Structure formats: structure tokens, C-alpha cells
Structure 1
Amino acid sequence: MKKARLVAIFALFSIIVLGFNSQAFCEKIINVGIKSADMGILDPHLSATTANLPIMDSIFNGLVRFKPGTVDLEQIEPDLAVRWTSSPDKKEWIFYLRKGVHFHHGFGEMTAEDVVFSLKKASAKETSRWWSNYKAFDQVVAVDRYTVKITLKYNVPSMLGLVLNFHGGMVLSKKAYEQYGDDFKLKPVGTGPFAFEEYIPKQKTVLKANDQYWRGRPKIDKIVYHFVPVSNSREMAFLKGELDVIEGIKAEWWAEKMRAKKDVIFDALGPGECTVVHFNMTRKPLDKLKVRQAMAYALNRKDFRLTYGMSITEDAVSPVPPGYLGFTSDVEKYKFNLKKAKALMKEAGYPDGFDLGKFVTSKIYLNTAELLQANLGKIGIKLEIQMVDHPTMHKMIREDVNPIVPYGCCRFPIADQYLTQFYHSESIVGKSTGITNFSHYGEVIPGVDDLIDAARVEPNLEKQKALWVKAQKKIMKDVPAYPLRVTYVVLARKKYVDLGYDLKSNITLHYQITEKTDLKR
């Protein structure tokens, strides 16, 4: 009898223990490999780090969003707003909010007050790195608990792009921000499918499923973002099954290696990173058109693409990357022609070339810098590469120290972003309004500002696109910069990872983990 009772107790204990273990075992956790040494900050208005984008994308919503898997401006869909209207002149916009949407960690219902707070914060220099995108905002007011009105000083190209789930358009909890203060950077509170749970510096960030998510509880219980800056370590962890998805190595051999694996899905997607070399026209003899034309003809785009691989890159031929609203390829392309480059150098008065001196770069840009040095060396232009760390490079190029600046980036996919940030005179580095105009274009050679400004306030889309085309044609005629290549985002996932959407491109430069993403082992 005693023995039977002990057996029964043991059996009951085993069921309880196994039950708990089974529950833990069944928890769906997706492990993501991030190409970064650490997280940075998760205040979307202050963050400008690519590594943070996929994390913030799962935490926050915007008023609208790109349909997952796309960056098509014609496929923007409702997010926190269920619908919106605009005045005929596109200067007044009214957004009607979704009711019953709750912030993470018990911070209450999302209302117009939170949206107004977030957009005002995104528009302020002191609290946002994206404030310049919102210069057209005149007023943002709460009409009532679930209605927001935005009044613009002038029409903006794709106004919806400013309120979607990307950096400045992400909606924060006002209550949480005021409670946490500066700590909000590491304690983000949004309304997205996943809530912030844990951060271990230089190791990982953990998000947990938002049980109250209005689109439905996520199929995955947790996302663990692992910070693995070393590519080989990231790949090894992926192949061993410790990571389910990773950012890959931008190289043809790596793409072929992943494509050959039966249990792996390889993805190369846009919008890619567009790399352009900017000529500082305040430096002689870069102020001479024929010199800049010669440099353009001397640069072989194929060489720059082969750095990564032909299947994961494409030619950049215009100041605006392909796939962006307003892009045109109908511009002067300056296809590689060394004979023509040498002839132009002779016509410009430099048959033997000249010395441009030092230019700073970082390890990330070293291959590009060495190719620039080699290509330009063939027409007698000398360059001395000075290596610095990446943050120092960014600081120095904004102090106007370089005669030429190779720069790669991805922006919101509309022509105005590239044209304004790289070619408008207000964006010239060193100015209080400076962003990334390294060539001093618009000031050394005036005229493009008028086209960019006119396009920004043009309410008719076709007329707006025509102005953007004119701007691109003018820029390529004047050659303040030379577009080199577009490099796609390179990712890999295990076949059991079901994204829950068709992947064509995305704005996060990584896989978007949504409420529909699942692990089907």
C-alpha cells in the first residue's frame, strides 16, 4: 500500500514536471543574428543605427505602414489610423485612430494625445535626429480622443511617408516617455506585436509577444536579437542552428554558398544601399567641370560591384537609386572610358594628373577607397588614404576635410530624400542645416535648389516626378558626384522560418518579424 502510494505520488510529480518542461519546450523563440556589436538606443526618433531598425519595427507602429515585404508607396496601408482624409491642396490631413489599441507594459490605451506628442517630438531638434523631415509641419493637434489633425506649411511629397512606421513616424507612449525620461532609450514602449523585455549589453535584446496586439497575438513567443559583429561567428551559429535568421556577408561566394544549402533560404533584397562618390567642389581643381567628368569616366562601376558580387549589386546611374519614387535612368551615365577620361584631363590642363592629398575613410569603406585610389590613379590623380574609426570618419567628413567622399546609405524610397540631403544647398556640411551635401552643390553651382523646392510643394504627382527628373538630369550634367553601385541587403533564414508575408523588399534592412511570422519545424 505504501509502495503503491509512493508510485502514485512519483507519477503525479513526473506529470507536473514534464508538463511544465513541455510547456517551456514548446515556447516558440526565434533567434536573430544582428551584424552589430551592440544595440544602441531604441528611441526611434533619436536612433539612426541600421542595427536597431528591425527591433524597433517589432515594438512600434505608425499611423500607416508599408505592406510587410514591400516598400511600395502605392501599397501603404492603415496601421494605428483606420482611415485619413486630406484637403484639396494637401495641406491639411485628418487621421482617424484605431480604438482599443494598448501600449505595452500597462501604459494604457493609445490616443490622439500620444500621436500628437510623438509627432511633435519627432519634429524637434532637441529630441529627434529626423526633425528636418518635419520642417513642413505647422500644427499637430488632437481634435478629439481618436482624431488627429496635421496642418502643413506647404505640400510635402508623400506626406504619408512621414507618419508610417519608420523612425520619426513611430508612435510612443507619452506616459511612458515622461515616466522613464532618458531611460526610455533602453525601455521603449510602443503598441507593436512585440514588447521589450530584456537587454544585456553587447549580447542580446529580448522581445516578448504582445498578448493584446490588435492584429492578433503573435505566433512567436519571443524574439532574441543576438549582437554578433563578426561575420564568420554569425554564420557558424546559423549553420549550427543557434540562430534562425542572420544578416549575411555581402559577397558573391557567400551568396552561392547559402543558395546551395537545402535547409536555407537566401534573400537579397532592396531598397539597397546606394554608394556615391562626392567631389568637394570647393577644392581646386575639382571646381572644373572637365576634371569631374574625367574622374567620372575613369571610375569603372564593374570594379566597385565586384567588391561584393554582381548578383547582389546593380549599377547606380542616377542621384536617386532605382526603385525610388521619382527615379529616372535617362541621365548622362559616364560609362567607363579611360581614353575619354585622359583626353578630358588634358583639355582641363592636367595631362599628368594632380595630387588630391589625404582623404579619411574607415574599415567599412576601405575597399571602395582603394578602388577609387586605383581607378583615379590611371589618369594621374593621386590620393592618400588615411584610416580612422567609423564614428571619427563620420565626424570628419562632416567637417569638410575630404576632397572626395564615398558614402553609402539607404533612405526612405522617394526622390526628395536623396536630392534634398545630398544636393540641396541647405544640406551642405558645416552649415547649421547641414546633412550630407559633401560637394557643396547648389551653392558652388546654383539652380538645383529651385527644382527640389518646387517638386516638394507640387501637389500633382506627375508634375512632381517631372521636376525630380529635371533635377537628376542637371546633377548628372554638372557631376558634383558620381553614383557607383547599389548593394542589396543580404539575409539568410532556415527553411522552417515562415515570414508570414511575401518578401520583395523592406525598409528595416533585415527580416521583419510580425505577428504572422512562425517557426514550422
Structure 2
Amino acid sequence: MKAWTILAAAATLTLFGTSTGLAARTDLVLGMQLEPPHLDPTAGAAAAIDEVLYANVFEGLTRIGPSGEVLPALADSWAISDDGRTYTFKLRSTVKFHDGTDFDAEDVKFSLDRARAADSTNAQKALFAAIDTVEVVDPVTVKVTLKQPQGSFLYNLGWGDAVVVAPESAPTNKEKPVGTGPFKFDNWAKGSAITIVRNPDYWGEPVALDRAEFRIVPDAASQVPALLSGDIQAIPNASIGDALPQMQSDPRFKVVLGSTEGETILSTNNKKPPFDKLEVRQAIAHAIDRKAIIDGASSGIGTPIGSHFSPANKAYVDLTGTYPHDLAKAKELLKQAGLENGFSATLKLPPVPYARDGGQIIASQLRDVGIDLQIIPVEWADWLKQVFTDKDYDLSIVSHTEPNDIDIYSRKDYYFNYDNPAFDKVIEELNLTSDEAKRTELYKQAQKILADDAVNGFLFELPKIGIWDAKLEGLWENSPIQANDLTKVKWLD
């Protein structure tokens, strides 16, 4: 910490911003904790993919705005049939992909059909399950007919997984992404940084930045010095530990404590013994002390949660009291499960600080009730394969940053291995409901079922700690979707 303070003092007069009379700068270096495994939002679950590419390089028919609202994007407007099953989209007519090819209705049909195909590798394939047919009416008109009404359909089309890609470039988007957005992909120095540059032929409002670099700075030991030295000018999702007060007191920076859609959970393999027993999962829930985890793994910032739902959502129910911290009750439940002497299990932890630090705390807490966890650190790519894809795990810790994603618990192949027909029925009804009051009630029912079943250890809502140069404006203060949208970002003179 002393070294960081010395750097701050030495840099006070020379860093961040331009001198009076000079034009505002047009480049930006942002820090990111995790490097994406590839650069195709339609073929991967990692949030880091969208954090670079969403709204910057790739666009969908709709987009999610900074307040979580649904906005037009490649679709200029749309009409919905009286029965709520048919959506007719009017497309923008002057759009080109970054390789110079024209965007039209055929690209929309290709993208939606590809996302919902039997062999689709889209991580959110369920978003498209309600689609029955996609019809090209003319080059600027697409008609999408649903199997049944879906109240969240326009919102779903705003996810990164629903961006429009072209058949010519889709096969190579993982390494050389080609979209329609205001920025074009420039370079990826693996293990270091990803660079995007302004698209001079963008159909919409031009961006102020000529160049943006997303640099990988994984932890406080690298993030704080990089900010203080001026190597990077912003970290939209910082993890700086006990250096937060120092950054808040430095007038050169703006520090914004915002919200995310990131439910941070102790992921549990519900079909793997002994976690297939409700009493075991309930015991773990009682053994967890959320406040200690938030204090130790999230700089004391974060809202405790008792189910998989964001406290910022109007349908949120505080269910943290379902299983209060109670070691005696936890031991009693383990005894009921025939595990009076406890048991051993593994805890696979991805590299993000909240997981690595939180894992140590949770391991200590569970040890107090006789559960001995072997901590296994894994890199992000290994976590995606071993835990998310292969379901080869007992417990893990991760933050699910997808927006409003409680429906993942109804997916039969999802890595939690959770199966409850009552929950599935609620989600099915939710998908058929457009009335907001009824949807709110259904969301509350879904939250209660997950809490009662102790499907996972529900820990806290991941906070968004944004730190950037005080002369920057336009970065999102909250994260309703996993994105670093640079379309409105500029330097002040």
C-alpha cells in the first residue's frame, strides 16, 4: 500500500487528462480481470466476451440500455400481433458489417436459426426456444413467429448471445470478430490485451473514441499501480481490496459503487452425493456466514441474497432469513443426512478474487461443521470446461452476471444438475405471461422454491466498483447486462 501511495504522490501533477488548451484525447485503456476465452458472444458463456464486444463490435435487433431498458438497435422498430406470437421487425437499411458486406434480413434469419439449431453452441440457447419460424419478408423486414407468447422476448433479443452475425464471417468470429457496431476489432495479444478501433462507416452516431484497449489486469496487486501510474485510465469492474479508500480520496479518480446482475453463489452439483440430499444443502446454507464472506471477499461491499435474483429488481424477495447462520442447526441436519462425522469434498475456484478469497472463507466456515473442502484453483478456461460444461465438480464459486437469469434452473443440462417440476412449471407460466403484476408474482414464487431447496449457497450480489479518470464520462455506473459499452464514452476537455 505504501508503494501505491508513493506512486500516487509522484504522479499527481502529470497524469490523467490533457493540459489546458489541448484537444481532448481519443484513446482509452480499460482494465479487465479476466481474459475472454474467445471473441464470439454467440458461442460462449464467459462474461468477459460481452464485456469487450457487446454494443461495441456486435449488435442485435434490440439492445439493453444502462438502466436495463430495451432499446432499438439493428431493428429500427417492431410490431407485435394481437395474440403476442408474431413480431415484425423493420431493420435499418444502411448497415454494413465491418468486412464491407451488407446487413439485411437474411443475416437476421441466419443468426436466429443458427442460435436455436439442434447443433447450436450458443450458451443461452434457451433464449430462442420459443421461436417457431423466422421469415424474411423483404431485405429490411423480418417476421418472427413464436410457439407461444413470451413476455421477455424483446429483452432476450438484447442479450449478447443474440447479436447478429453474418454467414460469411461467423465461422471465424472467435478469433476475428466481424460485427456491425461502432468499433471494429483490431488486435488480440493473447494474455495481454484486446484492441478495438472506431468504425468510420458506422450506420449510427459516431463514437468519440478512436481506439480502446482492454488490458488484462487480474488483481489489486496489478490494478492499483496501473491506475496510479496512468497505464490504464479505467477499471469498470475493479477488485482492489483495501485500497478502495485510497482511490476514493484521490481527486484524480471517480469511484462509483454501482449494482450488477451478478448473483454470486456457491455452485453445487445437486446430483452428486452427498449434495443430492436436501439436508446436506440446508446444512451448508446454515453454515455460511454471508457477512464474513462479503467483508473478506468483496471489500465489505455487496448485498446478501437468499435466492438467485438481483435486489435491484422490483420482484426481488429478501430470503436471506430462510437459512440463518446457525452452526448447531447445520450439524443437526448433517446428522439427519447420516453424515454426523462430516464428509470431504472439492471446491474448484476460478481466478477472480471474490472466488479465490471467498473460497478460503467458506472452506473455513464449513470446516466448523465437519465438512472438509479441498480447494482446487483452476484457470478460467478450465473452469468453463470442467465445471460449466463437463459438470466435473462438487462445489465452486462464481458470479452469474447474465441479466434476469433465474430460468437457468429449469434447464435440464445446466451444470447445477437441479430438477424440480414445480419450479419448471412456474418458469413455463412466466414465459407465457406478459402481465407485469403476474410476472412479479411468478418471480417471487420461483425465488422461494430455489431458496427452500437450497439449490446453491446464495451469497451476495456482486457489486460494481468502477474506478476511472475523473475527466472521463459515459461509462456505465451499473451493469444491467455484462457489458463495457463505450458508445457514449469521451474525454472532457
Q: Could you state the TM-score of these two structures normalised by the residue count of structure 2? A: 0.85
Give the CA deviation at 1:27: 6.3
CA 1:199/1:399 → structure 2, altered by over 3 Å: closer, same or farther?
closer
Distance across 2 between alignment mates of 1:90 and 1:505: 29
Q: 1:503 aligns with which of 445, 470, 477?
A: 477
- Give the letter aligned to residue 28 of structure 2: I
Residue 35 (str. 1) matches residue 33 (str. 2): yes
- Give the letter aligned to residue 114 of structure 2: K
Distance across 1 between alignment mates of 2:325 and 2:210: 52
Give the CA deviation at 1:99: 2.6
Give the CA deviation at 1:310: 5.5
CA 1:508/1:411 → structure 2, altered by over 3 Å: closer, same or farther?
closer
Counterpart of 1:113 in structure 2 is 106
SS of aligned partner of 1:215: coil
- Give the letter aligned to residue 401 of structure 2: C
Distance across 1 between alignment mates of 2:479 and 2:346: 38
CA 1:283/1:463 → structure 2, altered by over 3 Å: closer, same or farther?
same
Residue 130 (str. 1) matches residue 120 (str. 2): no
Residue 45 (str. 1) matches residue 36 (str. 2): no
Greater relative contact order: 1 or 2 (C-alpha under 8 angstroms, separation 6 or more)? Answer: 2
Give the CA deviation at 1:95: 1.0
Counterpart of 1:200 in structure 2 is 189
CA 1:498/1:307 → structure 2, altered by over 3 Å: closer, same or farther?
same
- Give the letter aligned to residue 513 of structure 1: L
Distance across 2 between alignment mates of 1:331 and 1:303: 14
The answer to whether the Cα contact below 8 Å between 2:75 and 2:91 also exists between their aligned partners in 1 is yes
Please list, as runs of the form range in 1=range in 2, the aligned pairs for 1:151-162 lying within 5 A after superposition: 151-162=145-156
Residue 411 (str. 1) matches residue 402 (str. 2): yes
Distance across 2 between alignment mates of 1:202 and 1:347: 48
Give the CA deviation at 1:486: 1.6
CA 1:244/1:390 → structure 2, altered by over 3 Å: closer, same or farther?
closer
- Give the letter aligned to residue 459 of structure 1: S
Distance across 2 between alignment mates of 1:200 and 1:296: 42
Distance across 1 between alignment mates of 2:337 and 2:241: 39
Please list, as runs of the form range in 1=range in 2, the aligned pairs for 1:95-494 lying within 5 A after superposition: 95-108=89-102, 110-124=103-117, 125-126=119-120, 128-164=122-158, 166-172=159-165, 174=166, 177-178=167-168, 180=169, 182-229=171-218, 231-247=220-236, 249-309=238-298, 311-324=300-313, 326-329=315-318, 333-346=322-335, 350=339, 352-364=340-352, 365-397=355-387, 398-412=389-403, 414=404, 417-418=405-406, 420-421=407-408, 423-424=409-410, 426-427=411-412, 434-438=413-417, 440-442=418-420, 446-494=421-469
SS of aligned partner of 1:45: helix
The answer to whether the Cα contact below 8 Å between 1:252 and 1:311 also exists between their aligned partners in 2 is no
Counterpart of 2:490 in structure 1 is 518
The answer to whether the Cα contact below 8 Å between 2:40 and 2:49 also exists between their aligned partners in 1 is no
Give ranges in structure 2 of 5+ residues lacking alignment: 1-21
The answer to whether the Cα contact below 8 Å between 1:53 and 1:509 also exists between their aligned partners in 2 is yes
Residue 94 (str. 1) matches residue 83 (str. 2): no
Give the CA deviation at 1:158: 0.9
Any idea what the Cα deviations from partners look like across 1:22-79, whole Å, max 9, x if unmatched? xx9976212222323x554322212433333233121122222222x222xxx32222
The answer to whether the Cα contact below 8 Å between 2:260 and 2:478 also exists between their aligned partners in 1 is no
The answer to whether the Cα contact below 8 Å between 1:353 and 1:379 also exists between their aligned partners in 2 is no
Counterpart of 2:58 in structure 1 is 60
- Give the letter aligned to residue 490 of structure 2: D
Counterpart of 1:7 in structure 2 is none
Distance across 1 between alignment mates of 2:453 and 2:211: 52
CA 1:493/1:97 → structure 2, altered by over 3 Å: closer, same or farther?
same
The answer to whether the Cα contact below 8 Å between 1:272 and 1:489 also exists between their aligned partners in 2 is no
Distance across 1 between alignment mates of 2:162 and 2:170: 20
Give ranges in structure 1 of 5+ residues lacking alignment: 1-23, 428-433
CA 1:507/1:206 → structure 2, altered by over 3 Å: closer, same or farther?
same
Structure with greater helix percent = 1
Any idea what the Cα deviations from partners look like across 1:314-359, whole Å, max 9, x if unmatched? 1012222322464322575312123433444455555x43213444
- Give the letter aligned to residue 127 of structure 2: N
Give the CA deviation at 1:450: 1.7
Comparing 228-237 with 487-496, greater Cα deviation is found at 228-237
SS of aligned partner of 1:99: coil
- Give the letter aligned to residue 474 of structure 1: I
The answer to whether the Cα contact below 8 Å between 2:60 and 2:163 also exists between their aligned partners in 1 is yes
Any idea what the Cα deviations from partners look like across 1:483-504, whole Å, max 9, x if unmatched? 11122132211011121x7734
Distance across 1 between alignment mates of 2:127 and 2:251: 44
Distance across 1 between alignment mates of 2:376 and 2:439: 42
Distance across 1 between alignment mates of 2:423 and 2:219: 42
Q: Could you state the TM-score of these two structures normalised by the residue count of structure 1? A: 0.81
Q: Which has the larger radius of gyration?
A: 1
Residue 81 (str. 1) matches residue 56 (str. 2): no
- Give the letter aligned to residue 479 of structure 2: S
The answer to whether the Cα contact below 8 Å between 2:24 and 2:492 also exists between their aligned partners in 1 is no
The answer to whether the Cα contact below 8 Å between 1:116 and 1:140 also exists between their aligned partners in 2 is yes
SS of aligned partner of 2:174: helix
The answer to whether the Cα contact below 8 Å between 1:122 and 1:169 also exists between their aligned partners in 2 is yes
Give the CA deviation at 1:160: 0.7
- Give the letter aligned to residue 518 of structure 1: K
Comparing 25-34 with 261-270, greater Cα deviation is found at 25-34
The answer to whether the Cα contact below 8 Å between 1:250 and 1:312 also exists between their aligned partners in 2 is no
Number of residues of Structure 1 aligned to a counterpart in Structure 2? 467
The answer to whether the Cα contact below 8 Å between 1:331 and 1:472 also exists between their aligned partners in 2 is no
The answer to whether the Cα contact below 8 Å between 2:28 and 2:211 also exists between their aligned partners in 1 is yes
The answer to whether the Cα contact below 8 Å between 1:39 and 1:202 also exists between their aligned partners in 2 is no
Distance across 2 between alignment mates of 1:26 and 1:441: 55
Identical aligned residues as a percent = 25
Comparing 387-396 with 183-192, greater Cα deviation is found at 387-396
- Give the letter aligned to residue 155 of structure 1: P
Question: C-alpha root-mean-square deviation of aligned residues, in Å?
Answer: 2.9
The answer to whether the Cα contact below 8 Å between 2:25 and 2:491 also exists between their aligned partners in 1 is no
Distance across 1 between alignment mates of 2:297 and 2:249: 18
